[in-house]
Amino acid sequence: MSRIRLSIARTLVPLGVVFGVFAVIAAAARTNVMHQSPDRQRFASEVEPVVLQVDRLFARKWSEAGVTPANPASELNVLRRLSQALHGTVPSLEEIRVFEADAGPRKMERWVERMLDDRRFADYFARRLSRVYVGADDGQFVLFRRDRFWAWLGEQLQKNEPYDQVVRQMIAERGLWTGVPEVNFITSTVSEGNIDVNKLAGRTVRAFLGQRIDCAQCHDHPFANWKQGQFEGLAACYGQVSLSAVGVEDNRNKPYSVEDRMTLKPRDVAPAVPFGADWFPEEGTERQRLAAWVTHPQNRRFERAIVNRVWGLMFGKPWQGPVDDLSDPDERGPQPDDLLDVLGADFREHHCDLKRLIATIAATHAFRLSSEHLDFEVPERAIVVEESWAAFPLTRLRPEQVIGSMLQASSIKTIDQNSHWVRRAFRFFQELNFVKEYGDLGDNELGDHSGTIPQALLRMNGEFAKDRSEGNPFSAPGRIASMAPTDDGCLDLCFLVCLSRYPTAVERAAILPQLEGTTNDNRKSAVEDIFWTLYNSAEFSWGH
Amino acid sequence: MTAWNSSRREFLRLSAAALGLSFAVPGLELRAANVRGVERKKSLLTIWLAGGPSQLETWDPHPGTDIGGGDTGVRAIQSTIPQVQIAHLYPQTAEQLHHVSVIRSLVSKEGDHERGAYMLHTGYKPEPTLVHPSIAAIATHELSDDRVEIPQSISLGNPPFPPRGGFLGDKLDAYRVFNPGQNGQNLRPNVSNDRQQRRLKNLEVVSQSFRRGRGVQVDQTLHQHTVDAALRMMTSEQLKAFQVEDEPAAVRDAYGRLPFGTGCLVARRLLEVGVRSIEVCLNGFDSHAKNMEAHVNRAQELDPALATLFKDLAERDLLQSTVVLVIGEFGRTPKINPLLGRDHWPTGFSCLLGGGGLRSGALLGATDHTGEKVMPESPVEVADLYATVLQTLGIEYAKEVITPIGRPMKYCSGSPIETLLASSVR
C-alpha cells in the first residue's frame, strides 16, 4: 500500500511543483500599468534650481561661441532618446499612444520618472555600468560571476541606493562572489587564479575617479602628473586581498611588494594615495581606507566622474572625452562655469542620488534640443555647433540598443517586466546572438566607432532582421498590415514603431503608393519592405 | 540557388544609374592578379594553428630523446632544406619546405591563450589603454586597393581570436568566413530583386529626410558609405573567390575537402583577386593531454593543405607577392606531462616564414634537446618577426601613428631580422 502511495507521490510532487511555478508566474503577470499616464513627479520641482543653473551655463557658452541653439526636439523624439538611454530600446506603440494622449502638466518630467521606476532602467543601466566596473572579458567563470554582479547592481539601482555606498561596497566588501556579488569587482581581475592588483588599481581610478593612471604602471606618465610610485601605492591598497574557500578576504599579515624594474629585486610598498592624503583614514582594512578615500565628500573627482559618465550615457557622448580621462578639478574649488562641478555638487548634496541626476539632465534645455541645426550644412560652422553642444549629438547606438529597438519595433506590446516570460527570454537570447554577430564594442564605452560592412550585411540580409520584419500574425509588421484601417494609418504605424515619428510629406508621397490597393500577401510584403528600410536607415542605428 | 551572374550585375548597375542612386557599381577588372610579379602590392597569408602547436611534433623534432617522446615519439625526416629535418608527420610539407625559412627560436613570454594570441597577432603585449592593430590590419590599412570589392582582411575558419583593427578602427577587423567554401555570412538578400530595389529606393528617401538639417553630421557617420560598400560586395564578381565549385576535383582533393583544406584553397583564390590579408585557422593544437595523438590527427589535415598551398602559390607566381607565415600563439613544453600531453611554452617555439621576396631555405635558432634550458639559441622576439614581415610588405615598420587617445604608437617596436631579408627587397 505504502509503495503505491510513494509512486503516486513521486508523480504528483513534481507536477505540483510545476503547477505551483505556473501559478506564481500567472500571478506575477498582473494588470498592465502601461495604459495609464504616469502621475508621479517627485523630482520635477526639486531639481528646478540646478536645471536653471545648467541652462544659464549653456546660454553663456552658446553666446561666447557665437551660436544659436537648435530648436527644441519634438516630444516624441525626446521620448525616444530617453527610451534608448534608459531602457536600451525604442518606445513601444502602447507607450507612444498613451504619451500622445497625455495632456497633463510637466509631461516630460512625469514620463522620465516613470521610466526610472520601470525595472528596465535598473536592468539596462546595470548592464552599461557593469562593463565599466568589471570589464567585458569573460574572466574565470568559477571565480567571476558577471550575472550575479549585474543582478546585484540592478537591485541597487532599482532601490536608488546612494551611489557612494554602492562604490564602497564594490571596493571593500568581503565574501563569496556568488553570495556577496559586489566582490566580483575584485574577482573580475583574476587570471590564472591570481588577483591582478595593478588592473584593479587602474580600474578603480578610471571607473570611479574618471582618470587614467595606467600608464604610470611602468613609467612616470609622460604628460599627466602621475608618478610610478603613486601607482604602486594605490595598487598596494589591494595588496592584502586574497582568495579562499570563503571568498574574497583581507589578509592583514600580507605585505605588498613589487619587483623593482631596475634592480629586479622585491621592494615593499605601503598603501598610499596620490593626492588628498587627508581623506585617507587610518582606520579599517586597506580596502576600506581606499573606499573611504575614493568616495570622500571632498574628493571632487568622484562626482565629476559619474556625472560625466551619466551625461555620456544619456547624450551618447560624454561631456569630456575620453570618458575616463578627465582633467583635474580646479584647485580653487567648484567652478560655476564647469558643468561637472555644477551637477557634481548637486549630486553630492543629495546623497549621490543617481535617479535625481538623470532627471536633472533630462530636464535641461540642452537635452531637449533637436539634432537638426542649420549650421550642419556648413562644415566650418558644423564643428562649432558640435563642440558647443548647440544641437543634440548624433552618436552610434550600441549593438544591444539596435537589437532591443528591433525587437520592440516588431512587437505590438511593450516588452517589460510585465511581459510573458517567454517573450523576455526570447529577447535575452536573441540579443546575445545578435551582439555576438554584430560585434561587441568591448569595454570601450562611449568610444568613437563607425559601422562595419559585416554589420551592414547583418542588418540587411541577416536572419534576425528578416525575422524582425516578417509579416506573420503575431508580429507588428503582420498586425499592422492586416489591421490598420487606412493606408495612411498603416504607413504612420510603421514609422511610429520604428522611428518614433510620423512620415514626412516627401516620404509619404514616395512610399504610400506601394501600399495603395494592396491586400493580403502583397500588403504584407509592402509592410515588410518598409520595416526593412526603416531598420536599415541611419536614423534607426544612430541616437539623435 | 540564385545565380549572381554578370548580367544581373549589369542590370543592377543600370537600374542604379536610372534611379540616380548613390551606390552605382563601378567597373573593374576581375582579377588584380593580372598584374603579377614584383609590381603587385604584396599580401599577407597567415596559417594560424590555434591552441599552440608543439614545435617538437612539427618543425623542430628531437627524435630519440626524452623530450621527443623516445621510441613512441616522432621521427625526423629530411626536408628540401638541407639542414632542416621536420617531424615525419609532414612528408608532403617536407617536399615543399624550400619555399620558406624555418625559425625555431621564437620567444614571446605570453603563455595565456588570449594574451599569447594578442601578442602573436600584434607584436605587442596587451595593454589597458588601447587595442593594438593586428599586423593584418596594418597591412590592409597601408596597402588598401580600391579595385577589390570584397573585404581586404579576411579570416577563414573559426579562430578564437581573429585579427582586429584595434585603434586603426573596427572596419579593419577581419571579415569572418566560418565555413570556407560556402559564401560568407549574410551576402544574399532575403527577397526578390524587385523587392530589393523597392527597399533600396525607399532607403534613399528616408536617408534624405534624415540628412536635412544634419548634413555634415550624417555624412560623418559613414552609414551610407558602409551600406554602399556592403551592396558593392553583394553584387561583386569577386565573391566567386569564396566558392570552390569550379576548381578541378584533383585540386580540391590535394588541398583536402575538410574546412581547413578548403580554406587554404579559398585563400589562394582570394590572393588572386587581390585581398590584402588572409588568415586561415586550424584548431585543435592545445594538447595538454595525449599530445602525440592530437598532433598526428592535426597533421592529417595540415600536411596536405600546406604542401599544396606552397606548391600552388609557387606555380601560379603568387609566392613572390605573398608573405606566408605558419604560426600559433606559442609552442609546447619539451617535458611531457603525466597525461602524455605538453603544456604551454612561449620561449623557444617555431614558425615557417617565406614568400614576398624573403630569403627561403634558411634556418634560424635552435632549441635544446634536453629540454633543460628555458631560452633557445639565437632567440627571435615576436616584434622582430613582425618588423621583418612589415618591411617585406613595403610598410614602414617603425611608423608612429597617433592613436585616438593621443598617445603615439609605432606599428611595430622591433627591427627586421637581417638574415631573412633578401637583398632585392625594397
Say yes or no to pLDDT of A27 above 70.
no
Q: Are B234 and A325 an interchain contact pair (Cβ–Cβ within 8 Å)?
A: no
Say yes or no to pLDDT of A496 above 50.
yes
Higher pLDDT, A24 or A343: A343
Residue appearing with cell numbers 537638426: A372
Residue A362 — very low, low, confident or very high, per pLDDT cuts 50/70/90?
very high
Say yes or no to pLDDT of A139 above 70.
no
pLDDT of residue A438: 64
Tell me which residue in A322, A379, A453 faces B216 most closely, judged by beta carbons. A379
Q: Is B176 on the interface with A (CB under 8 A)?
A: yes
Domain locations in chain A? 140-294
Residue A24 — very low, low, confident or very high, per pLDDT cuts 50/70/90?
very low
Complex prediction ipTM: 0.84
pLDDT of residue A439: 61
pLDDT of residue A30: 39
The answer to whether position B68 is within a domain reads yes
Residue B118: CATH number of its domain? 3.40.720.10
Tell me the shortest Cα–Cα distance from B199 to chain A, in angstroms. 6
Give the pLDDT confidence of A413-462 residue by residue, as tens digits: 787 766 666 666 666 666 666 666 666 555 555 555 556 787 888 889 88
Tell me the shortest Cα–Cα distance from B130 to chain A, in angstroms. 9
The answer to whether position B260 is within a domain reads yes
The whole-model pTM stands at 0.79
Q: Is B425 on the interface with A (CB under 8 A)?
A: no
pLDDT of residue A302: 97
pLDDT of residue A4: 60
C-alpha cell read off for B100: 620558406
Task: Give the residue-averaged pLDDT of A269-276.
Answer: 90
pLDDT of residue A422: 61
- For B342-370, b/e burial (b = at least 16 CB within 10 A) is bbbbbbbbbbbbbbbbbbbbbbbbebbbe
Q: What DSSP designation does B344 have?
A: E
Give the pLDDT confidence of B98-113 residue by residue, as tens digits: 999 999 999 998 998 9
pLDDT of residue A159: 95
Nearest by Cα to A414 from A28, A95, A125, A85: A95
Q: Among the listed ranges A157-161, A240-244, B295-299, which one has the minimum average pLDDT value?
A: A240-244
Q: Among the listed ranges A223-237, A474-488, B154-168, which one has the minimum average pLDDT value?
A: A223-237
pLDDT of residue B32: 45
Q: List the single best residue of B210, B219, B224, B400 to mutate versus A (max A Cβ within 10 A).
A: B210
Residue A477 — very low, low, confident or very high, per pLDDT cuts 50/70/90?
confident
Output phi, psi for A499, to 5 deg: -115, 5
Task: Give the residue-averaged pLDDT of A280-295.
Answer: 94
Nearest by Cα to A137 from B135, B407, B131, B159: B131
Domain around B285 = 37-188+242-420
Q: Is B408 on the interface with A (CB under 8 A)?
A: no
Say yes or no to pLDDT of A177 above 60.
yes
Tell me which residue in A437, A450, A453 faces B151 most closely, judged by beta carbons. A453
- Give the C-alpha separation, A45 to A21, whole Å: 43
Q: Are A536 and B227 an interchain contact pair (Cβ–Cβ within 8 Å)?
A: yes
C-alpha B425: how far from chain center: 21
Query: DSSP per residue over A295-307, as a string?
Result: T-TT-HHHHHHHH
Please state whether B94 falls in left (phi above 0), alpha (psi between -120 and 50) or beta: alpha
Tell me which residue in A202, A454, A504 faces B185 most closely, judged by beta carbons. A454
Query: DSSP per residue over B266-312, as a string?
Result: HHHHHHHHT-SEEEEEE-----SSSHHHHHHHHHHHHHHHHHHHHHH
Q: List the single best residue of A77, A396, A443, A461 to mutate versus B (max B Cβ within 10 A).
A: A461
**Low pLDDT (below 50) residues in chain B:** 1-37, 424-426
Size of interface A-B (CB pairs under 8 A): 154
- Chain A CB contacts of B232 below 8 Å: none
Tell me which residue in A378, A504, A533 faces B199 most closely, judged by beta carbons. A533
Tell me which residue in A215, A437, A450 faces B221 most closely, judged by beta carbons. A450
The answer to whether position B143 is within a domain reads yes
Q: Is B213 on the interface with A (CB under 8 A)?
A: yes
Tell me the shortest Cα–Cα distance from B234 to chain A, in angstroms. 9
Q: Are B171 and A202 an interchain contact pair (Cβ–Cβ within 8 Å)?
A: no
Tell me the shortest Cα–Cα distance from A70 to chain B, in angstroms. 10
- Chain B CB contacts of A221 below 8 Å: none
- Chain B CB contacts of A453 below 8 Å: 151, 171, 175, 226, 229-230, 233
C-alpha cell read off for A416: 517589460
Q: What Cα–Cα distance (Å) separates residue B384 from each residue in B104, B107, B345, B367, B418?
A: 14, 10, 19, 19, 10
Nearest by Cα to A397 from A338, A459, A336: A459
Tell me which residue in A192, A386, A506 faces B209 most closely, judged by beta carbons. A506
As a whole number, the mean pLDDT across chain A is: 85
- Chain B CB contacts of A491 below 8 Å: none
- Give the C-alpha separation, B134 to B260, whole Å: 22
Cross-strand partners of B363: B102
CB A336 within 8 A of CB A348: no
Under 8 Å CB-to-CB from A98, ≥6 apart: which residues? A34, A35, A36, A37
Give the chain A residue nearest B176 (alpha carbons): A454
Q: Is B224 on the interface with A (CB under 8 A)?
A: yes
Say yes or no to pLDDT of A29 above 90.
no
pLDDT of residue A23: 41
Give the chain B residue nearest A139 (alpha carbons): B114
Q: Is B190 on the interface with A (CB under 8 A)?
A: yes
Nearest by Cα to B227 from B406, B64, B21: B21
pLDDT of residue A156: 96
Tell me which residue in A394, A460, A507 faces B230 most closely, judged by beta carbons. A460
CB B421 within 8 A of CB B391: yes
Q: List the single best residue of B23, B190, B275 to mutate versus A (max A Cβ within 10 A).
A: B190
Q: Is B76 on the interface with A (CB under 8 A)?
A: no
The answer to whether position B62 is within a domain reads yes
Q: Is B249 on the interface with A (CB under 8 A)?
A: no
Say yes or no to pLDDT of A157 above 70.
yes
Under 8 Å CB-to-CB from B391, ≥6 apart: which residues? B397, B416, B421, B425, B426
Tell me the shortest Cα–Cα distance from A451 to chain B, in angstroms. 7
The answer to whether position B199 is within a domain reads no
pLDDT of residue A456: 87
DSSP count for chain B of H helices, then E strands: 11, 15
